[in-house]
Amino acid sequence: MKLQPDRIETQSVTAYGSGWVAIQGEKITHSVLISSEGLRLDWRCQSFDDLGPHHFAQLVDLDVELVIFGSGERLRFPKPEWQVGLMQRRVGLETMDTQAACRTYNILAGEGRKVAAALIIEPSASNN
């Protein structure tokens, strides 16, 4: 699906499909962290099952008010104990499938919110 924002003045997800997202038009086929402040980092996990507490520890220092967690092709929730650092810093965490996370991130970033998206991009059969 191709997304057409009205006019977002920040980094946005411009398209997505099974096994990929496009950020500012660049196709990405691996998990990624992005923020409305311009951050873009590889997020070293190929699937939800690869996640551990160290992945969520990376999110604590992003200096955002909310993290949108895209859990892959389907909705899955991270362990509550992995979220403790975010709660202590008063950073919200919303969990949804990755495609919904892309849409939500774009809306919030477009509103000027300090938001990040942690997106699990699971390899699809066509990317292997």
d(CA 52, CA 69): 14
Better pLDDT: 3 or 11: 11
Percentage of residues in the chain having pLDDT higher than 70: 91
- Partnered with residue 27 across adjacent β-strands are 22
Residue 89, pLDDT > 70, answer: yes
Better pLDDT: 102 or 4: 102
**What mean pLDDT is predicted for residues 5-21?**
83
d(CA 117, CA 4): 18
Lowest mean pLDDT among 35-39, 77-81, 92-96, 121-125: 121-125
**What mean pLDDT is predicted for residues 97-104?**
97
Residues across the chain:
128
Residue 49, pLDDT > 80, answer: yes
